[in-house]
């Protein structure tokens, strides 16, 4: 099957995580992603650990399948080369602080004059306008200000950062979705588009549970650990050899759990008859369930719950998850030949896209494609005119 984004050219002016994650998704789908980096050191993420043979594995995972050219955009000659690339491009993605592209002369209005069909995505912390538009932002700042940190962790602990850079990653996913939608829009209207995507907006609007509680009560939900504010039992429980997650999210599932625990009388206990009452009496309910779970191994609890259709699972670390039979069957990691590291494991595109299977090419060295791309600009321009 032909790559879905074959013949789509993306100019990638992004750095660190949100933008590179977005453009990596496009590259996985066959787009030609040309990463433009400063000649002195390139993307900051090239210098983020962990390292192997002086290569950043962090950078490698989110810059697979891309090309790299080095341009100092403060130099007029570099801007002229960028303009030539834009003439033949479909998409440009940038994540400079608002106002920087205007100063450099690479803003949407300027690029749109060069290529009216260009789709231009700006990623920022808080958007291109508004009171916080110029505020510097990293993932942890956005987590703190979006409300998600205030609901992560236990009630007796401080607000806690989610263990992964979810603001960056969710923004990257939204960006790839928006660009794909814009490509379809352009195929209908034959016009370019400007897309303004803020990390704050992306993370804020993704909090369905927190926002539904806010809208219902006009109050902010607090930290409740692994519990769910609208369902019980829905939590981690101590077994004889570890912990498991049990999510008996309906009355039918709860009744099945009561039968498993050999306490069928709990099915009609007035404290636990409804979702609302089970949430109200959740501490008592958890104590009852853990008296049962602590007598059984994780494996036995999982087996018994699965046999009656109760969602249940072990709590794995990333190493255990990566080595699981399920991850191997889904081919979530692939060993790829690497010019410096001999072989390296790369994450694969998680969507099985019909018959298309993305190939993975290692991340480029800084400026690795200067000759290939910059020397070919004249030919690209001639082809465009023809």
Predicted confidence (pLDDT) per residue in 143-177, tens digit: 999 999 999 999 999 999 999 999 999 999 999 99
Q: What is the pLDDT of residue 357?
A: 87
Pairwise CA distance, residues 24 & 283, whole Å: 44
Mean pLDDT of all residues in 97-115: 97
Residue 386 has pLDDT above 60, yes or no: no
Mean pLDDT of 302-320: 97
Strands (E), the chain: 9-13, 32-37, 51-52, 55-56, 66-70, 91-94, 119-124, 193-198, 234-239, 242-247, 312-314, 333-338, 342-347
Residues 88-102 have a mean pLDDT of 98
pLDDT in tens, 27-48: 999 999 999 999 999 999 999 9
Q: What is the pLDDT of residue 384?
A: 54
Query: Which pLDDT does position 16 carry in this prediction?
Result: 98
pLDDT tens digits for 354-370? 889 889 999 999 999 99
Candidates 3.30.930.10, 3.40.50.300, 3.50.50.60, 3.30.1540.10; CATH matching 234-316 = 3.30.1540.10
**pLDDT tens-digit series, residues 228-275:** 999 999 999 999 999 999 999 999 999 999 999 999 999 999 999 999
Q: Tell me the domain boundaries of the chain.
A: 9-206+326-385, 234-316
Task: Give tens-digit pLDDT for 184-232.
Answer: 999 999 999 999 999 999 999 999 999 999 999 999 999 999 999 999 9
pLDDT at 378 over 70: no
> Whole-model pTM?
0.94
Where does the pLDDT of residue 379 fall: very low under 50, low under 70, confident under 90, or very high at 90 and above?
low
Place of tokens 């942890």: 140
Residue 376 banded pLDDT, cuts 50, 70, 90? confident
Strand partners, 228: 231
Residue 1: which pLDDT band, with cuts at 50, 70 and 90? confident
Q: Given this model, what pLDDT does residue 151 score?
A: 96
Region 305-325: mean pLDDT is: 97
173, 208, 137, 347: CA torsion to nearest 10: -30
Tokens found for residue 155: 């009630």
Q: Distance between terminal CA atoms of the chain?
A: 29
What local confidence, expressed as pLDDT, does residue 382 receive?
A: 59
Q: Is 234 helix (H, G, I), strand (E, B) or coil?
A: strand
Q: With bands split at pLDDT 50, 70 and 90, how would you rate the model's confidence at 377? A: confident
CATH superfamily of 9-206+326-385: Crotonobetainyl-coa:carnitine coa-transferase; domain 1 (3.40.50.10540)
Catalytic residue numbers read 228
Q: What is the pLDDT of residue 385?
A: 52
């Amino acid at each position: 099957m032909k790559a879905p984004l074959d013949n789509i050219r993306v100019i990638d002016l992004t750095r660190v995580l949100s933008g590179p994650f977005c453009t990596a998704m496009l590259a996985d789908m066959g787009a030609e992603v040309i990463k433009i980096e400063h000649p002195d050191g390139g993307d900051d993420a090239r210098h983020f650990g962990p390292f192997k043979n002086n290569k950043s594995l962090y950078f490698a995972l989110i810059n697979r399948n891309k090309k790299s050219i080095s341009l100092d955009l403060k130099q007029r000659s570099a801007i002229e080369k960028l303009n030539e690339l834009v003439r033949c491009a479909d998409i440009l993605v940038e994540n400079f602080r608002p106002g920087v592209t205007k100063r450099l002369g690479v803003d949407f209005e300027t690029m749109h004059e060069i290529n009216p069909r260009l789709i231009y995505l700006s990623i920022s912390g808080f958007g291109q306008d508004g009171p916080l538009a110029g505020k510097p932002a990293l993932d942890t700042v956005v987590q703190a200000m979006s409300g998600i940190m205030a609901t992560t962790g236990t009630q007796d602990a401080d607000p806690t950062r989610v263990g992964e850079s979810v603001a960056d990653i969710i923004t990257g996913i939204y960006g790839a979705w928006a660009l794909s939608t814009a490509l379809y829009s352009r195929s209908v209207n034959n016009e370019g588009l400007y897309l303004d995507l803020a990390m704050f907006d992306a993370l804020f609007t993704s909090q369905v549970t927190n926002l539904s509680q806010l809208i219902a009560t006009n109050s902010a939900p607090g930290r409740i650990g692994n519990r769910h504010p609208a369902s019980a039992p829905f939590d981690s429980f101590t077994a004889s050899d570890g912990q498991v997650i049990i999510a008996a999210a309906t009355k039918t599932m709860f009744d099945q759990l009561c039968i498993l625990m050999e306490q069928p009388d709990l099915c009609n206990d007035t404290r636990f008859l409804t979702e609302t009452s089970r949430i109200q009496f959740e501490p008592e309910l958890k104590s009852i369930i853990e008296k049962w779970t602590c007598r059984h191994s994780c494996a036995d609890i999982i087996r018994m719950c699965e046999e009656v259709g109760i969602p249940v699972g072990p709590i794995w670390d990333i190493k255990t998850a990566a080595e699981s039979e399920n991850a191997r069957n889904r081919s979530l990691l692939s060993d790829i030949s690497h010019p410096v590291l001999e072989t390296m494991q790369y994450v694969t595109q998680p969507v099985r896209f019909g018959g298309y299977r993305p190939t993975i090419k290692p991340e480029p060295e800084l400026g690795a494609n200067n000759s290939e791309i910059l020397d070919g600009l004249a030919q690209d321009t001639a082809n465009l005119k023809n």
